């Protein structure tokens, strides 16, 4: 089947008629006929043009079939070709400049500096995966040469590499309209792996999604790839998402969002005739444990720094520290007093959507209405902001916390709870009983008693353990893990941030006694790609052993 794609052009203005309100199926604009959505400015409450036509299951089927049609050729592109493609996507997004920045601000209420930083992160992670492709390490190439004279049985020639799992469905996130959305880490890592991508855009920032989607489609056309390598769908409710995950051409899913929505996708994927993996980042309260040595020397400074972390992004970050545990006593009082003072100085700010604000108000209300929880302080309301979240600070004791599981639930927004404990031993007991987390943070003096015990528990509970820092701010690199045991994610063996994220969309294949003429380039004896490979368990490249 030959697919014709309309020419792609990048829009010139953020709020004008250049935005079409259309999905992109293999680069072709498609106006869905199943209702409409439009972006809303959370600062002013105004509806933003244009409206976006919502697709149905027929369009889901078209996009998934196109992705499958593209898979055969795209997975065989060279790593260098895919790297160049990802770099063009990054260039196209960067070229949007203020067009993109203004639209993101209008749809999310995020400050300009945050949007510009997130744009840089988005283009940076695309380039990170381009660099990874050029190293060739993602192949995990291994060669066990034949041993025909081995006794009692000869060994066949066995070689291994990793290949793409197939087309991937990606769900845009509300809180990161760029870095975790249309061209975010899930899309970048899947495209790097050789997987075509079908993105379901988040309804809170449709204009942003279209701008970025057109930037990707333009790169697809420029590199003369099959247009089915990328599609962008606007769909309402859960039906389109479930249809996408259930489609037999989709082989894996990347998701960032609520626990309820994530588990609905996990269930849909599990109930398919061919179950597929869902890599869902869902829920985390990111507990912080402040040991006596740190508290005794810097209680006030730590209290203020904690509030700065909580209020970053108005609390709408997956790594926002929602729980802090401190040993009771005068230093803890100084900590909470400093935190309360800091909270009072934080003005309310726009939340991403009215739905998120309402959920935040309900969660903060649960704490505020609890008879054994005290509301220590709250920030200044901002009446001029249509969808406003006001920072809140609460405190309770360990007994109350341990006897009421609702106090462990994530509140997505600028609210956090201080829990006073009897000592480090009780901290370890509490940590052992918590659900899986994206992060666990420990503040400790050097060689402080109890720190090792907390570390032992923390590494069982989280994907990232921090010492004397704060969890907001996730570095995009080769050693980062942004994941964790359930319910932080649906699969605690992976990460959604950093170079290792490509592993989610690859699977190993062994080749036994394959003729030399049929061997993939990365497994050929002369190593034409010049990559590091394991040969009989030793890492080599063109006969060299890896440096010590």
Active-site residues, by number, are 281, 318
Question: What stretches of 307-461 adopt beta strand conformation (E)?
Answer: 323-327, 349-350, 374-378, 388-389, 392-397, 415-421, 437-443
Cα 518 to Cα 107, 375, 508: the distances in Å are 51, 68, 17
**Which residue has 């890492």 as its token pair?**
539
Residues 6+ apart with CB under 8 A from 214: 8, 9, 10, 11, 24
Three-state DSSP at 137 gives helix
Three-state DSSP at 394 gives strand
Half-sphere exposure of 125 (CA within 13 A, CB side): 32
List 477's β-bridge partners, or say none.
none
Question: What stretches of 165-242 adopt beta strand conformation (E)?
Answer: 168-171, 197-200, 230-233
Burial class (CB in 10 A: 0-12, 13-18, 19+), 3: middle
**Euclidean distance between CA atoms 208 and 50, whole angstroms:** 12
Q: Evaluate whether 93 touches 215 at the Cβ level (below 8 Å).
A: yes
End-to-end CA distance of the chain: 52
Cα 307 to Cα 251, 304, 323, 373, 497: the distances in Å are 41, 5, 11, 18, 25
**Euclidean distance between CA atoms 61 and 233, whole angstroms:** 11
**Euclidean distance between CA atoms 345 and 448, whole angstroms:** 33
List 349's β-bridge partners, or say none.
389
Q: Evaluate whether 498 touches 479 at the Cβ level (below 8 Å).
A: yes
């Amino acid at each position: 089947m030959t697919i014709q794609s309309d020419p792609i052009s990048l829009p010139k203005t953020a709020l004008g008629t250049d935005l079409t309100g259309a999905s992109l199926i293999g680069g072709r604009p498609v106006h869905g006929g199943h209702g409409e959505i439009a972006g809303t400015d959370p600062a002013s409450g105004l509806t933003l043009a244009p409206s976006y036509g919502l697709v149905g299951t027929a369009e889901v089927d078209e996009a998934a079939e196109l992705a499958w049609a593209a898979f055969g050729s795209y997975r065989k592109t060279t790593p260098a070709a895919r790297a160049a493609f990802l770099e063009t996507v990054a260039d196209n997004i960067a070229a949007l400049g203020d067009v993109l920045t203004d639209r993101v601000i209008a749809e999310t209420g995020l400050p300009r500096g945050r949007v510009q930083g997130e744009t840089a992160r988005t283009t940076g992670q695309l380039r990170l995966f381009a660099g990874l492709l050029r190293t060739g390490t993602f192949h995990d190439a291994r060669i066990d040469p034949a041993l025909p004279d081995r006794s009692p049985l000869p060994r066949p020639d066995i070689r291994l590499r990793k290949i793409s799992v197939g087309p991937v469905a990606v769900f845009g996130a509300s809180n990161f309209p760029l870095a975790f959305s249309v061209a975010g880490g899930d899309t970048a890592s899947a495209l790097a792996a050789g997987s075509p991508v079908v993105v379901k855009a988040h309804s809170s920032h449709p204009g942003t999604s279209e701008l970025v989607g057109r930037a990707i489609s333009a790169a697809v056309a420029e590199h003369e790839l099959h247009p089915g390598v990328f599609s962008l769908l606007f769909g309402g409710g859960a039906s389109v998402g479930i249809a996408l995950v259930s489609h037999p051409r989709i082989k894996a899913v990347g998701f960032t969002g609520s626990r309820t929505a994530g588990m609905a996708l996990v269930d849909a994927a599990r109930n398919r005739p061919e179950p597929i993996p869902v890599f869902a980042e869902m829920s985390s309260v990111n507990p912080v444990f402040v040991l006596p040595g740190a508290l005794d020397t810097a209680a006030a400074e730590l209290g203020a720094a904690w509030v700065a972390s909580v209020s970053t992004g108005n609390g709408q970050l997956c790594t926002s520290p929602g729980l802090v545990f401190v040993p009771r006593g005068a230093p803890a009082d100084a900590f909470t007093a400093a935190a309360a003072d800091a909270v009072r100085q934080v003005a309310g700010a726009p939340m991403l959507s009215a739905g998120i604000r309402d959920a935040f108000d309900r969660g903060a209300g649960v704490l505020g209405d609890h008879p054994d929880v005290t509301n220590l302080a709250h920030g200044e309301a901002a009446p001029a902001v249509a969808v406003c979240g006001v920072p809140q600070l609460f405190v309770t004791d360990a007994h109350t916390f341990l006897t009421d599981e609702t106090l462990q639930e994530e509140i997505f927004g600028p609210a956090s709870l201080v829990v006073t404990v009897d000592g480090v031993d009780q901290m370890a007991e509490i940590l052992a009983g918590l659900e899986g987390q994206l992060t666990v943070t420990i503040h400790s003096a050097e060689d402080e008693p109890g720190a090792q015990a907390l570390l032992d528990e923390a590494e069982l509970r989280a994907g990232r353990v921090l010492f004397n820092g704060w969890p907001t701010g996730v570095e995009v690199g080769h050693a980062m893990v942004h994941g964790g045991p359930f319910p932080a994610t649906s699969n605690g063996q992976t990460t959604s941030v950093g170079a290792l994220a490509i592993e989610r969309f690859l699977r190993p294949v062994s080749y036994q006694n394959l003729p030399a003429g049929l061997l993939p380039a990365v497994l050929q004896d002369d190593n034409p790609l010049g990559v590091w490979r394991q040969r009989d368990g030793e890492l080599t490249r063109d006969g060299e052993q890896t440096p010590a």
